[in-house]
Amino acid sequence: MRRYGKHTDEDDVRVRPQRGGTRPRTSIRPKHEDAAEGMVLTVDRGRLTCLVEDRVVVAMKARELGRKAAVVGDRVALVGDLSGARDTLARIVRIAERTSVLRRTADDDDPYERVVVANADQLAIVTALADPEPRPRLIDRCLVAAYDGGLDPLLVLTKSDLAGPEKLLETYAPLGVPYVVTSREELERGDAAERVHALLDGQVTAFVGHSGVGKTTLVNSLVPKDRRRTTGHVNAVTGRGRHTTTSALALPLTGPGDDTGRHGWVVDTPGVRSFGLAHVDPSRVIHAFPDLEPGTADCPRACSHDEPDCALDAWVAEGHADPARLYSLRRLLATRERHEDD
Ligand SMILES: Nc1nc2c(ncn2[C@@H]2O[C@H](COP(=O)(O)OP(=O)(O)OP(=O)(O)O)[C@@H](O)[C@H]2O)c(=O)[nH]1
Ligand SMILES: [Zn+2]
C-alpha cells in the first residue's frame, strides 16, 4: 500500500498520480519567452547548479512549479541572472518532460520514490569482483530499475586483480548486457578508463554501486582533473566544505565528444546498500530477466511468476534457463511482496 502523507524533502518526487487535462509541461509560458535552456548538474537543499551554455548557473525552483522537483539530469528553462557570477541566483521556470527516470526507494516498503537521475541514457552498474563480495541480487535490482526507467544497463566489474569475473559473466553475459572488467593495474595504466569510456561516449550514464566497489576511483578516472568529486562553484555558493554525498552529481566526460560536439556525462550517485523497488509494478520485474521472459509465453493470464501454475518451472526444468535465475526472480518478487529488501 502506498501512503501519501505529508513529506517535504525537496529531492523526492511524490508518486501521487497527475491530474489529467493539464497544460503540456513542455510549454514555456509567454512571460518566459526569454528563458534559457539548461541541465541540472547538482541539487543541494533547494539550490540547483545548472549548465547554461558553458556557464554554471545557480538557481532555485520558481514557486509556480509547486512540488515538482528538479533532479540531476533534468532539462530546465531558466530566467533571471544567468551570468553565472558569484552570489547570483536564477529561477527555474520549467522542467522538460523526461526521457528516462532512474528511481529508487529506500526499501521496498518506502512509499516515496526518489528520482535519482533524469534523462540518463544508460545505467552503469558497478560491482566489485571481491572486497566487497559481488551481490547478484543487487545487480538484478539495478537491472529492474534500469529497464523500468528506460535506461540501457551496462555492467562494470571492478577489482579483477582480486577475483575473476567468470562466475558473474556466466550469468550476465548471456543476457546481452554490455560489460567491462577492470583491475587496479589497468586503472593505474589508464586502460580501464579508456575501455569504460568507449561505452560512454556521447551518452549520459548514471553510475550506481554498493559502497566501496571503486565507483569514485573509476568516475574520477573518466572526468577532467578539475571536476573530480567536487565543483568549487557549488561550494562557494553553499558554503559547504565538500559536496554532499547524499545526492547525485553530473560530471562531463573527458574526450572529443561525438560529431555534434556533445560530450558524454557521467552521473555519480552515492553508494547504495540496497535498491528499493516499491515503485515498480511486479509485472514489469520480468523484463529484467530476459533469459526467463520467453518462458512466460505459456503462463496463465496475469501470472505473478510466483505461483503453482507458472510456466517458468517447466521452462527451467527443460534446461532453457539456469534454475538459480528463477530463484533470483522469485526471491525478488517475494521480498517486494513482504516489503523487505534483500
Ligand atoms: N584491488 C583493487 N582495489 C580497488 C580497485 N578500484 C578501487 N579500489 C579500492 O577500493 C576502495 C574503494 O574505492 P572507492 O572508489 O572509494 O569506492 P566507492 O565505490 O566510490 O565507495 P563509496 O565512496 O563508499 O561509495 C579504495 O580503497 C580503492 O583504492 C581495483 O580495481 N582493485
Ligand atoms: Zn509465470
The parent domain of residue 200 ranges over 101-268
For ligand 1, pick from 180, 181, 213, 249 the residue to mutate: most ligand atoms within 8 Å of CB: 213
Same-domain status, 252 and 198: yes
Same-domain status, 325 and 251: no
Question: What is the ipTM score, two decimals?
Answer: 0.97
Same-domain status, 215 and 159: yes
Same-domain status, 178 and 68: no
Same-domain status, 118 and 236: yes
Q: What is the pLDDT along the chain (342 residues), one digit of tens a residue?
A: 333 333 333 333 333 444 444 444 555 455 677 899 999 999 988 899 999 998 999 999 998 888 888 999 999 999 999 999 999 999 999 999 999 999 988 777 776 778 899 999 999 999 999 999 999 999 999 999 999 999 999 999 999 999 999 999 999 999 999 999 999 999 999 889 889 999 998 899 999 999 889 998 899 889 877 766 543 333 333 434 343 456 788 998 876 554 554 578 999 988 887 888 888 888 899 999 999 999 999 999 999 999 999 999 999 999 999 999 999 999 999 876 544 445
CATH number, domain containing residue 255: 3.40.50.300
Among 95, 110, 126, the domain-final residue is 95
Q: Which ligand is located closest to the Cα atom of residue 270?
A: 1
Among 268, 303, 329, the domain-final residue is 268
Domain total in the chain: 3
Atom 21 (ligand 1): residue with closest C-alpha? 212
- Domain membership flag for residue 78: yes
This prediction has a pTM of 0.83
Q: Where are the beta strands (DSSP E) in 107-243?
A: 114-118, 122-128, 152-158, 179-181, 204-209
- Domain membership flag for residue 72: yes
- Closest atom of ligand 1 to 220 CA is 15
3-state secondary structure (DSSP) of residue 116: strand
- Domain membership flag for residue 276: no
Same-domain status, 223 and 175: yes
- 216 C-alpha to center of ligand 1: Å? 7
User: What CA–CA distance (Å, rounded) separates 23 from 68?
Assistant: 14
- Domain membership flag for residue 150: yes
Same-domain status, 165 and 126: yes
Same-domain status, 107 and 86: no
- Domain membership flag for residue 59: yes
